[in-house]
Amino acid sequence: MVPVPLIINEKTYRDGIDITPTEFYTMLRNSKKLPTTSASSPTPYLEAFRKASRRAQSILCLTEPVKFSAMYNSARAAVEMAKNTLHDVTIEVMECTTAAAGQGLVALAAARAAALDESLEEVKRIVGNVMSRVNLFATLDTLHYLARSGRVPQAAALVNTILDLKPVFTLNHADPHTVGLPRTTKSALGRILKLMDATVKKGQQLHVAVMHADAEKEAIILKDRITAQFDCKEIYITEFTPVMGVHTGPGLVGAAFYGE
């Protein structure tokens, strides 16, 4: 894992190392100034490659989509730097077409394949296959933070606040867009389940990761409803990474999944 720096009240934290998601969302709710993120430099990637090279002759690095982050470019720069010291190690970088818990499911599939001693090419093939099948649906509690970060117009956030909407969005092939505008979180969770049902083939086993941003109660409700409605080969609850939570704010709930 290569941490992304978070800048909160002029202080820099490494996501997942210096600050937990719970601590971050508490600070976010109370912060007058919106926290920001800074792309990891090539150096942490180079160090990660060095550590991995002690255990393997080939390394596959998965990064966020380029449109969301500069981490892919940082990883590529680190690969060039590694050529001077890690002469006998093959390192490849793949840009993930999903993010958050969706990227986590892709990483787990890659790790399982690697644990079976599959070749680098086979692991890449499996990653490409899983990426093409991962879906992600989530609901936001508010557009306030997206507006503050400049990701959506202030007018949209104002309308959202007045109407008290809970937008449901999807992230497919690194292209986020809205797929529903329910009025309550309960309705939004129902909408997510309907979207999942329309996507999943009959009798298909699912790999699922339920994610939340300081909304564990709603995440547990969604997990229980997914478990009751679908045949889950594996299902997790995970906290939404602060690096993305900077833009979405607390209250996000959603699910990433793919079928066997």
Share of the chain above pLDDT 70, in %: 93
Task: For residue 211, tell me if it sits in a domain.
Answer: yes
The predicted structure's pLDDT at residue 121: 97
Query: Each residue of 50-75: pLDDT tens digit?
Result: 999 999 999 999 998 888 778 899 99
Query: What's the pTM value of the predicted model, to 2 decimals?
Result: 0.90
Task: For residue 59, tell me if it sits in a domain.
Answer: no
Task: For residue 246, tell me if it sits in a domain.
Answer: yes
Task: For residue 37, tell me if it sits in a domain.
Answer: no
Domain at 244, CATH number: 3.30.1180.10
Residue span of the structural domain in which 182 resides: 135-259
pLDDT > 70? residue 230? yes
Amino acid residing at 91: I
d(C-alpha 136, C-alpha 154), whole Å: 25
Q: Average pLDDT, stretch 130-156?
A: 79
Task: For residue 121, tell me if it sits in a domain.
Answer: no
Most confident by average pLDDT, 10-24, 32-46, 169-183, 204-218: 204-218
Please report how many Cα atoms fall inside a 13 Å half-sphere around the Cα of residue 137, on the Cβ side: 22
Task: For residue 64, tell me if it sits in a domain.
Answer: no
pLDDT > 80? residue 141? yes
pLDDT band per the 50, 70, 90 thresholds, residue 199:
very high
Domain total of the chain: 1
The predicted structure's pLDDT at residue 247: 84
The predicted structure's pLDDT at residue 156: 63
Query: Each residue of 120-139: pLDDT tens digit?
Result: 999 999 999 999 999 999 99
Task: For residue 21, tell me if it sits in a domain.
Answer: no
Is the model more confident about 194 or about 21?
Answer: 194
pLDDT > 80? residue 257? yes
Task: For residue 150, tell me if it sits in a domain.
Answer: yes
The burial class, CB within 10 Å (0-12 / 13-18 / 19+), for 102 is buried
